[in-house]
Amino acid sequence: MATQTQQLLSSQVFTNAAVTANGEYDLANVNINNTNKLPNCRIIIEYENLIPNVALPGSFFISAILEGQRADGKYYPIAYQFEPFRRMSDGSQRIILVGPQIQSGQGIDDIIYPADKVEARVSKEQGNTAANMRLHLKLIETGFGMIDSFQSVKISAYMELFD
Model confidence at 160: pLDDT above 70: yes
pLDDT tens digit sequence for 93-127:
899 999 998 876 555 567 777 777 777 888 888 88
> Containing domain of residue 82, as a range?
12-157
In a domain, 137, yes or no: yes
Question: What's the rounded Cα separation, in Å, for the pair 64 and 159?
Answer: 13
Q: Report the domain count for the chain.
A: 1
Q: What is residue 16's predicted lDDT score, i.e. its pLDDT? A: 86
Compute the C-alpha angle 55/58/60, nearest 5°.
Answer: 135
More confident residue, 109 or 92: 92
In a domain, 144, yes or no: yes
In a domain, 145, yes or no: yes
Q: What is residue 148's predicted lDDT score, i.e. its pLDDT? A: 64
In a domain, 4, yes or no: no
In a domain, 74, yes or no: yes
SS (HEC) of 60-123: EEEEEEEEEECCCCCEEEEEECCCCECCHHHCCEEEEEEECCCCCCCCCEEEECCCCCCCEEEE
Q: What end-to-end distance do the CA atoms of the chain give, in Å?
A: 6
In a domain, 5, yes or no: no
More confident residue, 69 or 85: 69
Q: How confident is the model at residue 132 (pLDDT cuts 50, 70, 90)?
A: very high
In a domain, 2, yes or no: no
Q: What is residue 161's predicted lDDT score, i.e. its pLDDT? A: 96
Q: What is residue 39's predicted lDDT score, i.e. its pLDDT? A: 96
Q: What global pTM score does this model have?
A: 0.88
What is the bridge-based pairing of β-strands 93-99 and 120-126? parallel
In a domain, 163, yes or no: no
State the DSSP code for 19. Answer: -
Beta carbons of 80 and 63 less than 8 angstroms apart: yes
Under 8 Å CB-to-CB from 157, ≥6 apart: which residues? 7, 8, 9, 30, 43, 44, 45, 46, 64, 135, 137
pLDDT tens digit sequence for 38-72:
999 999 999 999 888 765 556 888 999 999 999 99
pLDDT tens digit sequence for 5-40:
999 999 999 998 888 778 889 999 999 999 899 999
